């Protein structure tokens, strides 16, 4: 591990930082990709150990170079079809990170844990660091798993977790700009204006699909935990705390907006229950937020940083921010 040429590795920080030292790595984007291809076994070893690795001071300044840097890692085959967050493609495999409003914190979650085909790894790239805030939050899901109340974890294991996502009809919007962005239409989520094609794309993700007067309802039941493919560890793998819409998960302003613009008349964009449809007790949900807080850290972005995450071992989110922020993301196998 200590023998990777061209870099210094700080194993004492979380996340560990791989710092480019060789002039070629600091000046030539093509060299960075060659280096990573050679260092890949050691980097993967580090990734399983720590769950996340930061690359710093490499010659990376745009989305194409970011894509090329990670060309030795396969992309996530299923892509982002049916994903919940508003985002679009930038270049190659690279997408915008979430376009959720700056004052909406995105709570720690594992990417697409609400679907069958979730990415094994993710990479973020900081093209423009925000003026303040805007960190990509990260958290150790091994620690999270150890701290979830056992009775609740056992209940999740027994019943599973059911997610319902309600993609709106494209001709209806909640009527507030922030909610209009957050609540995706089924056309946007599945990339087709045809109901048949959108439904086929939804079912291809493993979700059930029904149509209501408000749009498409996609539902999927998961075990709520996974066995890590390399280490065999049993890890909490669901997005219950972030997915349940309440004043803690989305903040008071967004909770108030939902009550005002959806109320009881219009179904809210998403819901989560036990796998048999039983509602969580409020205290079961509320017990999770202090654990989210206790494992979440907010490393400061530096321009050109790349964060490579194991999507099972490390959760991610986004802090609120001011100013311009340009962070890209790639879903990897
Ligand atoms: Fe995410």
Position 174 in a domain:
yes
Domain count across the chain: 2
For ligand 1, the distance from its centroid to the CA atom of residue 2, given in whole angstroms, is 31
For ligand 1, the distance from its centroid to the CA atom of residue 70, given in whole angstroms, is 19
For ligand 1, the distance from its centroid to the CA atom of residue 125, given in whole angstroms, is 13
For ligand 1, the distance from its centroid to the CA atom of residue 76, given in whole angstroms, is 14
C-alpha separations of 158 from 90, 151, 199 in Å = 41, 11, 30
Tokens of residue 162, six digits: 């059911």
Position 106 in a domain:
yes
For ligand 1, the distance from its centroid to the CA atom of residue 23, given in whole angstroms, is 33
pLDDT digit string, tens, across residues 261-301:
998 889 999 999 999 999 999 999 999 999 999 999 999 99
Residues 165 and 110 in one domain: no
Residue 10 per-residue DSSP state: E
Residues 17 and 63 in one domain: yes
For ligand 1, the distance from its centroid to the CA atom of residue 327, given in whole angstroms, is 12
Position 1 in a domain:
no
Position 246 in a domain:
yes
Residues 205 and 174 in one domain: yes
The whole-angstrom separation of Cα 329 and Cα 127 is 11
Q: List the beta strands (DSSP E) in the chain.
A: 7-10, 17-20, 52-56, 89-91, 94-96, 106-109, 121-128, 132-133, 136-140, 161-168, 208-212, 215-222, 225-227, 234-236, 270-274, 296-297, 306-310, 314-318, 321-322, 326-332
pTM: 0.93
Position 79 in a domain:
yes
Residues 58 and 87 in one domain: yes
Say if residues 50 and 25 touch (Cβ distance below 8 Å): no
pLDDT digit string, tens, across residues 195-237:
999 999 999 989 999 999 999 999 999 999 999 999 999 999 9
For ligand 1, the distance from its centroid to the CA atom of residue 299, given in whole angstroms, is 16
Position 13 in a domain:
yes
| Partners of 318 in the β-ladder | 106, 136
Q: Which domain holds residue 213?
A: 144-291
Residues 111 and 237 in one domain: no
Residues 186 and 256 in one domain: yes
Look at residue 1 and tell me whether its pLDDT is greater than 80.
Answer: no
Residues 14 and 109 in one domain: yes
- For the domain that residue 49 is a member of, what is the CATH number? 3.60.130.10
For ligand 1, the distance from its centroid to the CA atom of residue 109, given in whole angstroms, is 6
Residues 104 and 207 in one domain: no
Position 32 in a domain:
yes
Q: Which residues contact 196 (CB under 8 A, 6 or more apart)?
A: none
Position 59 in a domain:
yes
Q: How sure is the predictor about 100, in pLDDT bands with cuts at 50, 70 and 90?
A: confident
């Amino acid at each position: 591990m200590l023998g990777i040429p061209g870099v210094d590795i700080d194993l004492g920080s979380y996340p560990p930082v791989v710092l480019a030292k060789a002039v070629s790595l600091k000046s030539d984007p093509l060299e960075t990709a060659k280096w990573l291809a050679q260092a890949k076994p050691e980097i993967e070893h580090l990734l399983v150990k720590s769950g996340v690795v930061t690359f710093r001071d490499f010659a990376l300044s745009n989305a194409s170079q970011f894509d090329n840097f990670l060309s030795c890692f396969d992309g996530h085959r299923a892509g982002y079809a049916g994903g919940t967050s508003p985002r679009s493609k930038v270049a190659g495999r690279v997408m915008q990170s979430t376009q959720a409003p700056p004052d909406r914190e995105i709570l720690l979650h594992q990417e697409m844990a609400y679907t069958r085909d979730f990415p094994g790894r993710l990479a973020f790239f900081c093209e423009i660091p925000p003026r303040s805030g805007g960190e990509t939050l990260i958290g150790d899901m091994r620690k999270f798993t150890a701290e979830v109340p056992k009775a609740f974890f056992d209940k999740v294991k027994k019943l599973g977790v059911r997610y319902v996502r309600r993609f709106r009809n494209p001709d209806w919007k909640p009527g507030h700009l922030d909610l209009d962005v957050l609540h995706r239409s089924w056309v946007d989520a599945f990339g087709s204006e045809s109901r048949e094609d959108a439904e086929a794309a939804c079912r291809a993700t493993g979700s059930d699909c029904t149509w209501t007067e408000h749009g498409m309802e996609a539902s999927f039941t998961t075990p709520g935990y996974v066995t890590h493919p390399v280490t065999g560890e049993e890890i909490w793998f669901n997005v219950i705390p972030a997915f349940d819409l309440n004043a803690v998960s989305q903040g008071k302003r967004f909770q108030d907006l939902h009550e005002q613009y959806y109320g009881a008349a219009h179904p809210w964009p998403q819901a989560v229950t036990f796998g048999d449809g039983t509602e969580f007790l409020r205290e079961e949900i509320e017990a999770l937020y202090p654990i989210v807080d206790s494992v979440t850290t907010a490393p400061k972005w530096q321009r050109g940083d790349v964060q490579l995450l194991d999507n099972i071992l490390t959760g991610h989110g986004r802090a609120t921010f001011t100013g311009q922020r340009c962070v890209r993301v790639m879903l990897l196998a």
